[in-house]
Amino acid sequence: MSYDLILRGTAVLPDGPVENAWIGITADKIAAIGTGDAPSAAAVHDCGEDLIFPGIIDGQTHACSYGGLPGIRSTTRSAIAGGVTTIVDMPYDNPAPLNDIARLTDKVTAIQQHAHAHVALYGTILPGQSPEEVAPLIDGGVVAFKISTFESSPTRFPRIASDQIFGIFNALAETPLPLGVHNEDQEIVRAYIAAAKAAGHNGIEAHSASRPPAAELAATAQFLELGASAGAHAHIVHLTTARGFQLVDNYLADGFRATGELCVHYLWFDPDRDGQELGARMKVNPPIRPGQIDALWEEILSGRVAFVSSDHSSWPIDNKFTDSIFDAGAGVPGLETLLPAFYTAADERGLDAASLTAEQLCERPAKFFGLWPQKGAIRIGADADLAVVSLTPQTWNAQTAHDELRWSPFDGRRFNITVSRTYLSGQLAFDGKAVLNQPGDGRYVRRGPSHWFE
Amino acid sequence: MSYDLILRGTAVLPDGPVENAWIGITADKIAAIGTGDAPSAAAVHDCGEDLIFPGIIDGQTHACSYGGLPGIRSTTRSAIAGGVTTIVDMPYDNPAPLNDIARLTDKVTAIQQHAHAHVALYGTILPGQSPEEVAPLIDGGVVAFKISTFESSPTRFPRIASDQIFGIFNALAETPLPLGVHNEDQEIVRAYIAAAKAAGHNGIEAHSASRPPAAELAATAQFLELGASAGAHAHIVHLTTARGFQLVDNYLADGFRATGELCVHYLWFDPDRDGQELGARMKVNPPIRPGQIDALWEEILSGRVAFVSSDHSSWPIDNKFTDSIFDAGAGVPGLETLLPAFYTAADERGLDAASLTAEQLCERPAKFFGLWPQKGAIRIGADADLAVVSLTPQTWNAQTAHDELRWSPFDGRRFNITVSRTYLSGQLAFDGKAVLNQPGDGRYVRRGPSHWFE
Amino acid sequence: MSYDLILRGTAVLPDGPVENAWIGITADKIAAIGTGDAPSAAAVHDCGEDLIFPGIIDGQTHACSYGGLPGIRSTTRSAIAGGVTTIVDMPYDNPAPLNDIARLTDKVTAIQQHAHAHVALYGTILPGQSPEEVAPLIDGGVVAFKISTFESSPTRFPRIASDQIFGIFNALAETPLPLGVHNEDQEIVRAYIAAAKAAGHNGIEAHSASRPPAAELAATAQFLELGASAGAHAHIVHLTTARGFQLVDNYLADGFRATGELCVHYLWFDPDRDGQELGARMKVNPPIRPGQIDALWEEILSGRVAFVSSDHSSWPIDNKFTDSIFDAGAGVPGLETLLPAFYTAADERGLDAASLTAEQLCERPAKFFGLWPQKGAIRIGADADLAVVSLTPQTWNAQTAHDELRWSPFDGRRFNITVSRTYLSGQLAFDGKAVLNQPGDGRYVRRGPSHWFE
Amino acid sequence: MSYDLILRGTAVLPDGPVENAWIGITADKIAAIGTGDAPSAAAVHDCGEDLIFPGIIDGQTHACSYGGLPGIRSTTRSAIAGGVTTIVDMPYDNPAPLNDIARLTDKVTAIQQHAHAHVALYGTILPGQSPEEVAPLIDGGVVAFKISTFESSPTRFPRIASDQIFGIFNALAETPLPLGVHNEDQEIVRAYIAAAKAAGHNGIEAHSASRPPAAELAATAQFLELGASAGAHAHIVHLTTARGFQLVDNYLADGFRATGELCVHYLWFDPDRDGQELGARMKVNPPIRPGQIDALWEEILSGRVAFVSSDHSSWPIDNKFTDSIFDAGAGVPGLETLLPAFYTAADERGLDAASLTAEQLCERPAKFFGLWPQKGAIRIGADADLAVVSLTPQTWNAQTAHDELRWSPFDGRRFNITVSRTYLSGQLAFDGKAVLNQPGDGRYVRRGPSHWFE
C-alpha cells in the first residue's frame, strides 16, 4: 500500500491532539491515521510540530453580497488562506438572493467556476413566495434556510412577515433543516435610529445603543416561538448577549428544536474599549455590545452555543467611511482571521484552544449543517480537508491578506498562531504564503443525513 | 354597639366556608365577623344557608366599547345582578380610548354619574403618544395599562408597534403597574383570514383556525421579552392554551415579572362541541380552541393562572348575525354569568368550587390590581361588597338578564347556583330579582399599594 | 347578643395585624372578630396597642424527661407564662417512654391532673415492639411518632434500627401522621466523641465538632429514603444546616412527603461567639454549629422550614456543671422564651416579625400536627387560646422565670417584646406577672383531620 | 514502514463503526488506523465483516473470592474468551482482602504469574484500619476503593461502620479515586431474612423480597451523603431500580461527585419470569427485582448509568445447590457472557448495539477508572487490546465455557453475536476456540490521570 500523500505533525483528533502523528491521504480522502513511522507515500509533507486541524468550516459567510456570484472567487481564496476549507454561504447575493432553483443552479455553476474552497449553501424565500418552494431547494442540496426580521434591502435582504416565517417553519417541520434568522425587530431599530439621528448622534458609540438588546431579543423570542409552534428547528444566526442563549435554552428545555450561534467578533471587540479606534470598522448587526465578552465565553463553555462563525462580508472600506455611522455598511471581512482569532482568544483565556477550535469551528458546524462525518473531524474515511497552523505569533496585517480588501477590524492585532498550510480534497491549497489551488477546485457540498437533533 | 346591618349565612372566609356566620357592617365596611348569635343591628338580613362571597371583581370588562361612557350604566347594572361589585374596565371606549388625563376625568365623571358597581380603570397609550404620558394616568389612579398587537380599530383599538411597547414598558418599569396585551400577531391573523376567505370558509369552525395558536403565542413571546428587557410587569390578558402559561412560567423562572389571565368562556366552550349551536355567539379573540378545557383547568390548579375574568363586551346580537364569521363582532356579554359559570364549572369537576371562586374571582384580581386588602376577601375592615348565592340550580335565560342584551353564549346552560343578593358598600344592591341601587352608587376605585410581585 | 369576654388590641389575623380590633369570646371559642366599637360583653379586657397572637404552639417539648409525668405541671406553667397555649410533647418520658396505650392513658390522666396548657402527644415504638402497635396510639389521638437513630438512654431514648424504622414507616404510610427522627448517626458520633476524649478535648468548643454535620446528614438521608420507600411522611425534628433542608427539598421534588424543623436556639446562638460565655448551657443535640444563622433564616424565608419549635428540656442546672462537656446533659429550657426570642430575632433582622411569628409558631405547627383550624389562627370558631405581647423591651432574667429552673441560655439577653397576657380556652391564664389558671385547666388535644400534605 | 500486525474488519471507532477498516499494530500499541488498502505488515489478520471493538473492560470482577489469588488464572482466561481484556478486580480476596501494601504486592505478583488479561485493582480498608492507609495503596496504583455496608464475611467482606466510611471519604476527598459501596443496609436485610425463614420461605422468590429496595436505597442514600459531606466521589457499584439512579442524580444536581453502576444481569433476568427456571443460579445481591428491565434501560439511555459491568464471581455450582435460597452463595459467573449478553440485549431492543457496547463496556469504564486514553477506544496510540465479534448467533453453553465452572444463568440463552477473537497487547489471545496466550501475559494496570469528573 502506498498513499498519495502522508502529512506529518500534531494531529488534532476528536479526543485531543496526538503528537508525532501522520495522516495518510488517498485521492481526496483520509485513508489512515497513525503515529510513529509512516507507510510509504508518493509524497510526504512534514509539518513538524504544527497543529493539523480538520479543515475549518465557516457556518456564516456572505460571499456574494457585494460583487455578486463572482465574489465567490476572492472570498474562497481568502478562506483557503485562513484554513477555511468549507464556507456555508448566505443567500443574500447581489443583486438577488438564492430563492429558487434557477438561482441555485446559477450559484452552483459559479462555485464550479470560481470556488477555491468548498461551498455549502443557505437558501431563502422572498415575500410573495410560497413556503412550499423550499422543497426544490432542499432537493437541490441547500443545508439550511435563512430569513430576516429586519429589512436591509427590499430585494436582496427583505423583512419577512411573521405569517410567512410561520409558513416556512411549517414547510420545514418534517425536515432536519434549520431556519436561521437575522434577528432584529425592525420597528424598534428604525425608531431608535430615528431618535439617535434626531439627537445628532452619529458615531460608533451610537450604533450599539440604536439597536438595543430588546430589539434583538424580541425578534428572537417571537421567532423561536413560531418555530416551536410549527415543530421546526429555529436557529438564531447571531446572539450578542447571554440572555439570548438563555432564551434558546428555555426552548430546548420545553422540548423544541432551537439553537443559537456566535460570531468571532463578539468574542474580540468591545465598543467601550475599541470603538474610538475602529469606528465603523467594527460595525456589525446586531451590534457588538459593551461588556459581553466574558459572559459569551461562559455560554461557549456551558455548551449553549451551537458553533462560532465569521459572518464574513466583503465590503470595500469605502463602505465604512461615511459621515454618520448610520450610513456605514454593516459587516466585516473575517474568513481569513476566523481560525487565528478564535484560537488566540481561547488561548489567552487559558482554555484548551486546540480542542475548542476543533469543536466550535469544525465538528459542530459540520454536524449542524449535515456535513458530518465527511467533514468536521480528522477521521478515517473523511474528506482530506485540513488546516495546519504553526505556533508562531503574528501581527495581523490587512494589507497582505488574501481577500485584497486591505482592511480588517483585526488589523494590527496579535494572534498566537499562523496558518501555515491548507489542504483541500487532499491537495495542498495554501503553503503559508500563496494560495496554490485554482478557482473551481472547490466543490458544491450538499446537505447529508447527519442531524443536529436526534 | 349596634351595627347598621348584620348579614347571616355561610361566609366564604379566606380559610374556607364558615356556616352559621354573621357579618357586621357599619357604614360601608365590614366591622365584625362572628358565628352563632349576633350582636344587635339596625337591620338583619338572614341568607339562611346561602354562600356569602366577597364581592366578585371582574378583571376584564369592556363597558364602553359599544355605547361609549354611558355604557357604564347597563354594564354595571348587569354586574350587580351577577354579584360583581367591582369591574376593572378596559380603555377601548367608543369613540376614543382612555389615553390621557382628560379622558380619565371624563370617565371618572361618567362613573360617578352612571355606575351601579365600583369601577377601576385600565389606561392605554395611542400611537404617537410619548410613553411618559403614563405618569399622569398613574397619578390619576389607573390600575394597569393595556395595548394590543392587533388592530381592531385604528382609533379605538390600534396595533401598538414594538418600539412603543418597549417604551411603555420602560416607563412602567419602576412601578408595580402591569402592561397588559391583547396578544395576537397581526400579520399572521390577517394572512390566515385572507386565506380562509379566499377558500370560501365563513363559518365559526373557520374562526379558530384563522387565528392559530402560533399567532397568539408569537405575540405573547415577543411581548414577554420586551417586558423582561425593560424589567416591567408584562401581563397577557388572555391565553387559550397551556403552552401560553408555560411561556409565562419560563419568564418567572428567569426572574422576570410576567403573568397570564384566563377568561371563563375558555373553561366552558369548545368549538368542536358547541360551534354548530352557538356560531358567532361564541366568537371571541383569541378564539376558543378545540380540546383545551382540561389542560386549562390544570393551569388553574397548578397556580399558573393569575386570575379568571369575563372579558365582557356589550355587543348587540345584530353584531353577530353576519353572513361570514369574519364580519361578526368578537366578544360576548359575560358579567352576569361570570360567578355562576365559574363556580359551576369547578363544581362539575368535583373541585372545591367555593374556595376556588373566592380565590380566582376575588382575592387574586384584588391583589393583582392593587385593590387588596380593601377588596378581595371577607375580612375585618374590608369594604362591605358582598355576593350571595343560593345553591339553587338554574337554567340561564338571556331574555331576563339585566344587561338587556337578550343574548348570551350561556343561554340555556345549567348553573348549579343562583345569585340571590349583592351588597355594594354595605347596601343591598340586588335582591335576586331587581337591581335596587342607583346609578352613581358605584365608586371610582384607584390603585392602592398592594403588589402582585414582592 | 352578649359575649363572655371581649378582648381589645391589635389582632394578628392571618392576613396581618389589624389595629383597634376586638375578639368576642363565648365559652372557649372565638365567636366574633371586629374592629371599632365592640358589642356588649360580660367582661372587656383592653390590651391597648398590644399584639394579640393566636396561642403559641410549641411543636417540640420534653415535659417529662426529667421529673416524669408530673413534669407536665411545671413545664406547662412555664408555657403559659410564655404565651404557649399548646405543647406537643415528646414521648421520651422518665422512666419510660410513651409507647403503648397504657402509657398513653397514664399520660392523658397526668395531663388532666397537671396541665396548665393544652398538650398534644407524640408516641414512639421501642425496640422489640411490632410496628403495628402504632394503631392503638393513633386511635388514642397521638399527633405524630418519633424515634431516634442515636441512643441517649437504652430504655427511654433508644436507637431504633433501620429495619424497625422502615417497619414503622410502613405502618404509617396510609396515615397523615409523620414519623419524626432525632437524626444523628450513632457510629459517627460515638467515634468522634471517643477521639475527642482521647485527645483531651472537653470544652464546649469540642461539642459541635464531636457531632459533625456528616453525622446529622447521613442519618437524615437514610431516614428520608426509608420514608420515601414506604411512602410515609418523614420528618426531621431538627436540622442545623442549610444542606439538611436541601436534602428534604430533594425528596419533595421527587414526589415524597418530607419535612424539616428548626429550633429557636439555632437562630440565636453561635458557638464561636457564645461558647465561652455559655459553655454547657448551650449544649443541645444536634449541636449548634458555627456560622449558620444567616443561612437558616434564608431557609425560613424560602418556605423550606416546616415550623420553629423550642425543644424545651427541664434539666436542672446541675446537669450542666460537669468537668467534661461530654458528661453534661444535652438540652435547654426554652418554652418561656420561645415567643420573645423568635419575634426578637426576626425583628432584629428587619423582617415582619408579627406575621412570621404567627406563621412559624402558630399556623404551621397547627397544620402540621392536625390541630388546624381549631388552633393556629385567630379565626371565627377557633379555640380561644391567645397570647398577648406588649412592645416593651426586656432583659431576660432566668431567676424570675416560671419554670423555676433558674437558668437559661437566654439569661441576660435582650428581647424586644414582653408576654403580657395568655388566654387558654377563653380564660385569662397569665396576666404578665403570675400564672392564674390551675393544673388540669389544660386539655389533652387529639390529632384532627387537617393535613400537611394534600 | 511495516507493522507487526494489520487487523482488518469493521472497526467500532468512537464515532461509530467503519467498514473495511484496518488497524495497524506495532508492538503493543495501535499505531495507525485506516480504510481500504493497508500498508505492509508482518502479519495480516482479516476478520471480514466482524466487528472489532476496543477490548472490553469489566469494571467489577471478583477473581479471587473463591480460589484466592490463583483464581486470577481461570478468571482472566474466561475474560479473554469473552473479549474482556481488562478486569477491574474487587478487593475481597480469599482468605483476606486487599487492604495494605503487602497484599497489593502479593496480588500484583499473582497477576504477573497468572493473568491472561490485564488487571486493575480495587483496594479496601478493614475495620480498625486508619483511613490514611489509603495513601500507600493509591501510590501503589489501585484505581478505586470499595467497602460494604453489609457483612458477607467478617474478615473478607465486613460491614464498614459509617464513621469509618466517612473517614475513608475524607482521606479520598482530594483525589479522583471513587469509593464504591456494596449498598445494602445490614439491619433491614438481616431482619427480613429472619422473618422469611421464620415464615418458612426458602425459594428464589423469597430472595428479592428478603432484601427490599428500601435496604438498598437507605444504604445508598446514607453513603452518598457521607461522600457529599466529605467532598469525595461516591460510587454505588450496583443499583437495581430507577430510584437509585434518581438519588445519584440528585447529588450531581447539588454539585457533588456521585455515580451509579449497573450489572448486565439486571438487564437480562426477571425473577417473576426466570426464577422458577434458574433458582439460586440467579441469586445476586442486591437481588434482581421484578419488572425493572425497561426502567433500567431508560437510565442507560438517559446517561445516568456510569457503566455496565459483570460482577463476575467464580462460585462452583455446589454453592448454589442448597435447601434454602438463604444458604446459597450470591453471585454468578459473567465475564465470558458480558459482551454478548449486553450487545444482544441492546440489539433486541432495536438500539445501536455496537455504539452502546463501545460506550458502556469500553469508553466509560476506562474513563471511570483512570485507564483512558490508553484503554477504552480504538484510537492512535492506544493499547492494542481488541475484541472481535462475528454476527453469528449462538446458544450459550456453559459446559464449553472457558471458566470451567460449567454453569451460568445464561446457559441455553440465545446471543446475537459470538466472540471470534481477542487481542491482548497486540497479540492474538483467543481465536474463537481456544485461549492462546499464557498466564502472565496480562499486566497489572495502574490508575492514570484521566478523570470522571472535571
pLDDT digits 0-9 by tens, C17-55: 999 999 999 999 999 999 999 999 999 999 999 999 999
Exposed, middle or buried by CB within 10 Å (0-12, 13-18, 19+), for B128?
exposed
pLDDT of res. C1: 59
Residue A329 pLDDT exceeds 80: yes
**How far is residue B142's CA from residue B145's CA, in Å, rounded to a whole number?**
8
- R_g of chain B, CA atoms, integer Å: 21
Give yes or no for residue A1 having a pLDDT over 70. Answer: no
* CA angle, B160 then B164 then B167, to 5°: 145
For helices B71-81 and B335-348, give the axis angle rounded to 10 degrees: 30
Neighbours of chain D (3+ CB pairs under 8 A): A, C
**Contact at CB, C18 and B377, closer than 8 angstroms:** no
**Side chain identity at B305, as an amino acid letter?**
V
Asked if A229 lies within 8 A of B213 by C-beta distance, the reply is: yes
H/E run at residue C139: helix C134-139
- Rounded to a whole number of angstroms, the distance from the CA of D224 to the nearest CA of chain A is 26
Residues in a beta bridge with A421: A388
Burial of D359 (C-beta count, 10 Å sphere; 0-12/13-18/19+): buried
pLDDT of residue D1: 58
Phi, psi of C404 (to 5 degrees): 60, 20
What value does the CA radius of gyration of chain D take, rounded to a whole number of Å?
A: 21
- Which of D342, D353, D377 is closest to D53 using CA atoms? D377
The more confidently predicted of residues B314 and A140 is A140
- Min Cα distance C29 → chain B (Å) is 10
Q: How far apart are the CA of A25 and the nearest CA of chain D, in angstroms?
A: 10
Which helix H or strand E contains D49, and what residues bound it?
A: strand D44-54
Residue in chain B lying closest to C22 (CA): B32
Residues of B in contact with A222 (CB under 8 A): 185, 218-219, 221-222, 225
- Given a contact as 3+ CB pairs under 8 Å, which chains touch B? A, C
Is the backbone peptide bond immediately before A95 cis, with ω within 30 degrees of 0? yes
Location of C-alpha cell 488464572: D73
- Say yes or no for a CB contact (<8 Å) between A161 and B213: no
Q: How many CB pairs under 8 A join A and B?
A: 84
- Amino acid A2: pLDDT: 84
CA–CA gap between residue B371 and residue C284 (Å, rounded): 48
Select the residue of B162, B185, B250 nearest A185 (Cβ to Cβ).
Answer: B162
Measure the CA angle with vertex B202, ends B201 and B204; round to 5°. Answer: 110
Nearest-angstrom CA–CA distance, A62 and A157: 12
As a whole number of angstroms, the distance between CA D223 and CA A306 comes to 38
CA angle C27, C30, C36 (to 5 degrees): 120
- CA distance linking residue A244 with residue C176, whole number of Å: 46
For residue A227, which of A255, A257, A253 has the smallest C-alpha distance?
A257
Here the cell at position A418 is 499562523
The verdict on a CB contact (< 8 Å) between B1 and C38 is: yes
Average pLDDT, rounded, for chain D: 96
**C220 reaches D (C-beta below 8 A):** yes
Query: In what helix (H) or strand (E) does residue D24 lie, and over which residues does it extend?
Result: strand D16-26
Under an 8 A CB cutoff, do D34 and A35 touch? no
Any contact of B with A, at least 3 CB pairs below 8 A?
Answer: yes
Q: Provide the sign of the torsion angle of the four alpha carbons A408, A410, A411, A416, taken in this order.
A: negative
What is the nearest CA distance from B446 to chain A, expressed in angstroms? 32
Neighbours of D294 (CB within 10 A): 10
The per-residue pLDDT for B255 is 95
Q: In this structure, are strands D84-89 and B84-89 parallel, antiparallel, or unpaired?
A: unpaired
B247: contact with A, CB 8 A cutoff: yes
Rounded mean pLDDT of B358-379? 97
- The secondary structure of chain C in percent helix, strand, coil, rounded to multiples of 5, reads 35, 25, 40
Closest partner CB to A380 (pick from D1, D33, D377): D33
E strand or H helix at B290: none
Confidence of residue A284 (pLDDT cuts 50, 70, 90): very high
- Name the DSSP letter for residue C383: B
List all residues 6 or more positions away from B288 whose beta carbon is below 8 Å from its beta carbon: B208, B240, B265, B266, B269, B270, B271, B282
Cis peptide before B95 (omega within 30 of 0): yes
The region that residue A439 occupies, defined by phi over 0 for left and psi between -120 and 50 for alpha, beta otherwise, is beta
Quick check: A147 and A108 in contact, CB under 8 A?
no
CB environment D107-123: b (16+ within 10 A), e (fewer): bbebbbebbbbbbbbbb
| Residue B18 to residue C380, Cβ atoms within 8 A | yes
The Cα–Cα gap between C248 and C265 comes to 21
Contacts B191 to A, Cβ<8 Å: 161, 163-164
Is there a contact between D1 and A373 if contact means CB atoms under 8 Å apart?
no
Q: What is the pLDDT of residues B296-350, one digit of tens each?
A: 999 999 999 999 999 999 899 998 989 999 999 999 999 999 999 999 999 999 9
**What subunits make at least 3 CB pairs under 8 angstroms with C?**
B, D
Q: Which of A438, A446, A390 is nearest to A117 (CA)?
A: A438
Tell me the ipTM for this assembly. 0.96
Residue B262 to residue B341: CA distance in whole angstroms: 13
Q: Which residues of chain D have pLDDT under 70?
A: 1
Residue among C187, C229, C246 minimizing CB distance to D217: C229
- For residue D373, cis peptide bond before it (omega within 30 degrees of 0): yes
Q: Which three cell numbers stand for residue C353?
A: 416579625
Q: What is the pLDDT averaged over residues A94-121?
A: 98
pLDDT of residue A107: 98
Return the SS3 of D165: helix
Q: B174-188, pLDDT tens digit by residue? A: 999 999 999 999 999
According to the model, what pLDDT value does residue B277 have? 94
Q: How far is A242 from chain B (nearest CA, A)?
A: 12
Provide the 8-state DSSP code for C359. I
Q: Which set of grid coordinates corresponds to residue B328? A: 361578526
Whether residue A339 contacts residue A362, with contact meaning beta carbons closer than 8 Å, is answered with no
Q: Is D347 part of the contact surface with chain C (CB cutoff 8 Å)?
A: no
**Chain-chain contact of A32 with D31 (C-beta, under 8 angstroms):** no
CB-based contact B73:B114 (threshold 8 Å): yes
Q: How far is B73 from chain C (nearest CA, A)?
A: 34
| In C27-177, beta strands by DSSP E | 29-35, 44-54, 56-62, 84-89, 118-123, 144-148
Residue D237 backbone class (left: φ over 0; alpha: ψ -120 to 50; beta: rest):
alpha
Residues in chain C: 454
Q: How far is CA A176 from CA A25, A173, A232, A370, D217, in A?
A: 31, 8, 8, 9, 42
Across the interface, whether the CB atoms of D163 and C246 are under 8 A apart is answered: no
- Which of D7, D10, D15 is the best mutation test for A, with the most CBs of A within 10 A? D15
Chain C residues with beta carbon closer than 8 angstroms to that of B1: 37-40
| CB nearest D24 (choices: A18, A34, A373) | A34
Tell me what pLDDT residue C264 has: 98
Strand partners, B23: B7, B33
Contact B221/A219, CB-based, under 8 Å?
no
Contacting B residues, span 375-404, partner chain C, CB-CB under 8 Å: 377, 379-381
Do A and D touch, 3+ Cβ pairs within 8 Å? The answer is yes
The residue among B222, B223, B251, B256 with the most chain A CBs within 10 A of its CB, best to mutate, is B222
pTM, two decimal places = 0.93
CA distance C35 to chain B (A): 5
Chain D residues closer than 8 Å to A379 by CB: 13, 15
Q: Which chain A residues are within 8 Å of B161, Cβ to Cβ?
A: 187, 191
Is residue A451 scored above 90 in pLDDT? no
Confidence tier at B1 by pLDDT (50, 70, 90): low
Tell me which chain C residues have a C-beta less than 8 angstroms from the C-beta of D221.
221-222, 224-225
Distance CA B267, CA B288 (A): 9
Taking the Cβ of residue C434 and every Cβ of chain B, the question of whether any pair is shorter than 8 Å is answered with no
> How many separate helices (H) and strands (E) can be counted in chain A?
13, 19
Residue with cell 454618520: A324
- To test the contact with chain A by mutation, choose from D2, D33, D380, D451 the residue with the greatest count of A C-beta atoms within 10 A, namely D380
Cα separation, B441 vs B334, whole angstroms: 22
D214 contacts C225? CB cut-off 8 A:
yes
Inter-chain CB proximity B35 and C31 less than 8 Å? yes
Chain B residues lying within 8 Å of A230, measured CB to CB: 214
Mean pLDDT of B60-71: 95
- Return the residue matching grid coordinates 440463552: D413
Of C213, C218, C225, the CB nearest to D217: C225
Torsion (CA) C283, C284, C285, C288 in degrees, nearest 10:
-80
The grid coordinates listed for C306 are 416546616
Between chains, do D212 and C222 touch, taking CB under 8 Å as contact?
no
Q: Report how far residue B182's alpha carbon sits from residue B90's, in angstroms, rounded to the nearest whole number.
A: 11
Which residue in C has a C-alpha nearest to residue B373's C-alpha?
A: C15
Among chain D residues, the shortest Cα distance to C161 is held by D187
A positions 296-315 inside 8 Å of B (CB)? none
Residues 145-174 of C with CB under 8 A from D: 161-164, 166
How close is the nearest chain B Cα to the Cα of A320, in Å? 27
Q: Is B36 on the interface with C (CB under 8 A)?
A: yes
DSSP C92-125: --SSS---SHHHHHHHHHHHHHH-SSEEEEEE--
Mean pLDDT by 10 residues, chain C (454 residues): 92 94 97 93 96 98 95 97 98 96 98 98 97 98 98 94 98 98 98 96 90 98 98 98 98 97 98 94 96 98 97 92 92 96 98 98 98 96 98 96 93 98 98 97 96 88
